Amino acid sequence: MAPRVALLAGAVVLLLAAGAARASNDEGDALYALRARMSDPNGVLQSWDPTLVNPCTWFHVTCDHASRVVRLDLGNSNISGSIGPELGRLVNLQYLELYRNNIGGEIPKELGNLKNLISLDLYANKLTGSIPKSLSKLKSLRFMRLNNNKLAGSIPRELAKLSNLKVIDLSNNDLCGTIPVEGPFSTFPLRSFENNSRLNGPELQGLVPYDFGC
């Protein structure tokens, strides 16, 4: 028991500040929950220490001056696993860069809570399921790249409400139905939607049902 007690003495010193500060660190907890879902062979999440006051010194995480998480940069990091609903708690997030990994599972509808999100890059993963309608709540969104996944279902027509959307890429999925034509969709080139074998071209309002072929 002696070494244990010695360790405790050390722990008392080291963990002193940690215990109290943790309770109010919701963004850190949300990120740590993401870490728990991920397999991380390259150890890119190794610095994510939940006992720190906030996640601002974790690698691949960026905060603003008020210590709110604004960026998550994990592109090309060889991580696998799934994205959980807890990411929706990062309400200050502006850039979610998870492209070129092996992430599977569905896109959680809770990502629609990221009302400050500017860039949603989930391309080149193994995502399944459909594109959640809730993403139409991302009013600040400028970039949405979900290409090269295994997404199915139709493109939520509500995405046409994203007036700031500059770039969309949904190519190389398994989407079906037709492509919205309103709002920003009026300017997107067709190659943003190519290689979705069941996608039937731009919407023909009144002539063909929106999710024709789904």
Partner 1 sequence: MLVVVAAAATTTSFLLLLLLTSAGAVAGGCKPEERDALLAFKDGIREDPAGLLASWQLRGGELMTQDDCCRWRGVRCSNRTGHGHVHVVKLDLRNDRDDDAEAAALAGEIGHSLASLQHLKHLDLSMNNLMGSTGHLPEFLGSLRSLRYLNLSGIRFSGMVPPQLGNLSNLQYLDLSITVTAHIHQEDQSMAPQLPLLYSMDLSWLSHLSSLQYLNLDGVNLSSVLDWPHELNMVPSLKILSLSSCSLQSANQHLPQLSLTKLEMLDLSNNHFNHPAEFSWIWSLTSLKYLNLSSTSLYGQIPNALGDMLSLQVLDFSYNDEEDSMGRSVSKRSNMCTMEVNLKNLCNLQVLDLDYRLSNGSITEIFERLPQCSPNKLKEIHLASNNLTGVLPNWIGKLTSLVTLDLFNNNITGQVPSEIGMLTNLTNLYLHFNHLDDVLTEKHFAHLTSLKSIYLCNNSLTIVVDPEWLPPFRLEKAYFASCLLGPKFPAWLQSQVDIVAIAMNDAGIYDTFPNWFSTTFSKATVMEISCNQIGGELPTNMENMSLERLFLDSNQISGQIPQMPRNLILLDISHNLITGHVPQSICGLQNLDGLDLSNNLLEGEFPLCSEMRNMSFLRISNNSFFGNFPSFLQGWTELILLDLSWNEFSGSLPTWIGNFSKLEFLLLKNNMFSGNIPDSITKLRKLTHLDLASNRMSGAIPQYLSNFTAMIEKHSAVNHEERLSGCDYKSVVTVKGQELVYDEENVTLVTIDLSSNLLTGAIPEDIVSLVRLINLNLSRNYLSGEIPYMIGKMQSLESLDLSTNKIHGEIPPSLADLTSLSFLNLSYNNLTGRIPSGTQLGTLVDLHPYDGNDGLCGPPLQENCSSKDASSMIRNKHVSGFDICPFSLGVVLGYIAGLWLVYCTLLFRKSWRVAYFCFLDNVYDNVCVIAAVCWAKLTGRTGERSQMSEVAWSMDSEDEEEEALQRPY
Task: Tell me which residues touch partner 1 (CB under 8 A).
Answer: 1, 3-5, 7-16, 19-20, 36, 46-47, 49, 52, 56-57, 59-60, 62-63, 65, 71, 73, 75-77, 95, 97, 99-100, 118-119, 121, 143, 145
- Residues 185, 201 contacting (CB under 8 angstroms): no
Residue number with CB closer to partner 1 (64 or 182): 64
Query: In the chain, where does DSSP find H-type helix?
Result: 2-22, 26-37
Q: Which is nearer to partner 1, 13 or 207 (CB)?
A: 13
Nearer to partner 1, 45 or 155 (CB): 45
38-39 and 80-82 beta bridge pairing: antiparallel
CB of 88 to partner 1, least distance (A): 20
Which residues, in sequence order, are bridge partners of residue 81?
A: 38, 103
For partner 1, give the closer residue by CB, 100 or 161.
100
From residue 121, give the alpha-carbon distance in Å to each of 9, 43, 146, 214: 45, 21, 6, 25
